[in-house]
Amino acid sequence: MDLKFQKFFFQLLKLFFLPLKILIAFYLKKNKIIILFRRGNTLGDNVVITGIINQSVNKIDKKVVLFTKFQEVFYNNKKIYKIYNLKKKKIFPIILKIVEGNYIHEMHLEFSNYNDIMDKLRIENKPLQNRNEKIHISQCIAGKFNQNIDVKNFKNEFFFTQDEKIIYEKKFEKLISKKFSIIQPFSQSGFSKIRSWEFDKYQKLIDIYKLNWVQVGLKDEKHLSGVINLLGKTSIRELFFLVYKCNFILSNDGSLNHIANCFNKKSFVIMSGYTHEEFIKYDNTTLISRVPQIECAPCYLKTSCPKERKFCTEDIKVEDVLKIIKKKIKSYD
């Protein structure tokens, strides 16, 4: 279907459902409710929403009803009135988008009239030396709640029950009985192919730095040798528990960095030239990037790198990464 026709058809739907939108808005206003929804499949963005709610709920003085595909991230969060699973209610994302308004808001990387913030930043790209970009991912996702965001004190949240802790401690008893570090050599490739550091470099780092490494990620991802392989073997809440218990994490720009912020856990992120550093940085984050950064960064490209090679990550040496980690973390030796 042609994009222009899609937009035209969507506007017709919004016009058709206008009476319903008005009724829903009246009900939500009367009952002091605000509906937030997230249609995307990205775990990290949902984690960031916990921080946005954390900073916004008292200021908006409304009961928060959340629609998401990652309910598990928000369980036990007392700042949220009700949570609904969009995975089981596939028609709901369409309806919510149609009736979106003052009391119904989508939390995603949309910005102004562009498809998302990355498109806007790429289109408005300026020479590296003239940039002063300080925008954080939370400010993009927050949308109309942007004024509530205090980046300096921003904190994602996650809540376990006592029963959960007992169950997870028993399940991972052998693992958590000694120090361990989490490693994830893959980013969500469907979002951008540029963010990843080379797999072979992760392997070389493990071969040199003999720690108790635990690899997490999807079941079908390539696994490193010399690590405890938990690929596809943990639930989302178990993954959070492991981050909560680990010594530190090492990964590309991705979900683990946002999860680590929930627990103020040291997070080492191999930083590509995909976005600017302030976009994903927290107080607990140590960014490891090319020095000096390549002139074409940040590129905000979702496609493969158009250069003869991906300088922003290929020029990051294993030895430099090890040096930075060892400087921040005491050795197990």
User: Is 307 domain-assigned?
Assistant: yes
Same domain for 140 and 193, yes or no, is: no
Count the neighbouring beta carbons within 10 Å of the beta carbon of residue 303: 9
Instruction: Indicate the SS3 state at residue 81.
Output: coil
Same domain for 132 and 209, yes or no, is: no
Same domain for 107 and 220, yes or no, is: no
User: Is 218 domain-assigned?
Assistant: yes
Same domain for 149 and 187, yes or no, is: no
CB 106 within 8 A of CB 96: yes
User: Is 333 domain-assigned?
Assistant: no
User: Is 110 domain-assigned?
Assistant: yes
CATH of the domain at 211: 3.40.50.2000
pLDDT at 257: 97
Number of domains observed in the structure of the chain: 2
User: Is 138 domain-assigned?
Assistant: yes
Same domain for 9 and 114, yes or no, is: yes
pLDDT at 125: 52
DSSP 195: S
pTM: 0.89
User: What are the angstrom distances between the C-alpha of 120 and each of 6, 115, 145, 157, 300?
Assistant: 21, 8, 19, 29, 9
Same domain for 147 and 166, yes or no, is: no
User: What are the angstrom distances between the C-alpha of 202 and each of 205, 224, 247, 251, 311?
Assistant: 5, 8, 18, 9, 17
pLDDT at 131: 45
Same domain for 44 and 169, yes or no, is: no
pLDDT at 113: 35
Count the neighbouring beta carbons within 10 Å of the beta carbon of residue 317: 12
Structural domain for 54, as ranges = 3-153
Domain boundary among 100, 126, 153: 153
pLDDT at 270: 95
The two beta strands, 181-184 and 249-252, are parallel
pLDDT at 57: 87
Total number of residues shown for the chain: 333
Count the neighbouring beta carbons within 10 Å of the beta carbon of residue 108: 18
Alpha helices in the chain (DSSP H): 3-16, 18-30, 43-60, 92-98, 117-123, 137-142, 162-171, 173-176, 199-208, 236-245, 255-262, 311-314, 318-328
Instruction: Indicate the SS3 state at residue 260.
Output: helix
Domain boundary among 153, 172, 189: 153
Same domain for 139 and 180, yes or no, is: no
Same domain for 202 and 322, yes or no, is: yes
Give the pLDDT of the chain (333 residues) as one tens digit per residue: 555 766 777 778 888 888 899 999 999 999 999 999 998 889 999 999 999 999 998 888 899 999 999 999 999 999 999 999 998 777 888 889 899 999 999 987 643 333 455 555 555 554 443 444 568 999 889 888 888 899 999 999 999 999 999 999 999 999 999 999 999 998 765 556 788 899 999 999 999 999 999 999 999 999 999 999 999 999 999 999 999 999 999 999 999 999 999 999 999 999 998 888 889 999 999 999 999 998 888 888 877 888 899 999 999 999 999 999 999 986 444
Same domain for 288 and 187, yes or no, is: yes
- Alpha carbon of residue 71 to chain centroid: 15
Same domain for 135 and 169, yes or no, is: no
